[in-house]
């Protein structure tokens, strides 16, 4: 299975780009972590970042101001 990391740069979510495409899970997580912790993410220039698998399912989702929203952390 391969993964793609999408970065959305506007609140309307109509401006986006693929940070990496068709990479293994480790590379996707590395790109996801970078895109959710860099200066653009902290400043609100990045609004949303997702990892999508080759079956077009969302594996992880981060939203500016909310943090990681999927998968949700299990209550302890």
Whether 76 maps to a domain, the answer reads no
Domain that holds residue 49: 3-70
Integer Rg of the chain from CA: 12
- Cα angle: 51, vertex 56, 67; to 5 degrees: 30
Whether 43 maps to a domain, the answer reads yes
Whether 62 maps to a domain, the answer reads yes
Whether 75 maps to a domain, the answer reads no
Query: Cα(63)–Cα(3) distance, rounded to whole angstroms?
Result: 19
Residue among 35, 44, 47 nearest 4 (CA): 35
Per the structure, the count of domains in the chain is: 1
Q: How many CA atoms lie within 13 A of 47 on its CB side?
A: 10
Query: Cα(4)–Cα(27) distance, rounded to whole angstroms?
Result: 9
Whether 58 maps to a domain, the answer reads yes
Whether 32 maps to a domain, the answer reads yes
pLDDT tens for the chain, 76 residues long, are: 999 999 999 888 899 999 999 999 999 999 999 999 999 999 999 999 999 999 999 999 999 999 999 998 766 6
């Amino acid at each position: 299975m391969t993964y793609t990391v999408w970065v959305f740069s506007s609140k309307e979510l109509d401006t986006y780009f693929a940070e990496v495409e068709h990479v293994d899970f480790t590379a996707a997580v590395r790109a996801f972590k970078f895109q959710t912790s860099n200066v653009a993410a902290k400043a609100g220039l990045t609004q949303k970042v997702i990892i999508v698998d080759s079956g077009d399912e969302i594996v992880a989702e981060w939203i500016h101001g909310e943090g990681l929203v999927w998968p949700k952390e299990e209550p302890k």
